[in-house]
């Protein structure tokens, strides 16, 4: 699933570790999501969307 997580994270100046701590996962999980090797759980997708104050659909594109 395509996502723009890395771009949003970089725009806010956060490291992968910062974002991981904010949403309660490991840095490796954030890295895997950004590299599109791992699709987050629904709970994590909501947490990421909440963190960036956007809709899940704004972060993730299931059609791509």
DSSP for 18-47, please give it.
HHHHHHTS-HHHHHHHHTTS-PPPHHHHHH
Please tell me the pTM assigned to this model. Answer: 0.92
Q: Considering only residues 61 and 62, tell me which one the structure prediction assigns the higher pLDDT.
A: 61
Task: Encode pLDDT of 7-61 as tens digits.
Answer: 999 999 999 999 999 999 999 999 999 999 999 999 999 999 999 999 999 999 9
Look up residue 55 and give its DSSP letter: -
Residue 30 lies in a domain: yes
pLDDT of residue 64: 61
CATH code assigned at 17: 1.10.260.40
Rg (C-alpha) for the chain, rounded Å, is: 10
Total domains, the chain: 1
Contact assessment for residue 20 and residue 29, using Cβ atoms and an 8 Å cutoff: yes
Residue 38 lies in a domain: yes
Residue 17 lies in a domain: yes
């Amino acid at each position: 699933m395509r996502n723009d997580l890395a771009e949003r994270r970089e725009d806010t100046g956060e490291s992968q570790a910062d974002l991981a701590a904010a949403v309660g996962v490991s840095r490796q999980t954030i890295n895997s999501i950004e590299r599109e090797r791992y699709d987050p759980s629904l709970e994590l997708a909501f947490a990421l969307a909440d963190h960036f104050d956007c809709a899940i659909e704004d972060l993730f594109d299931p059609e791509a």
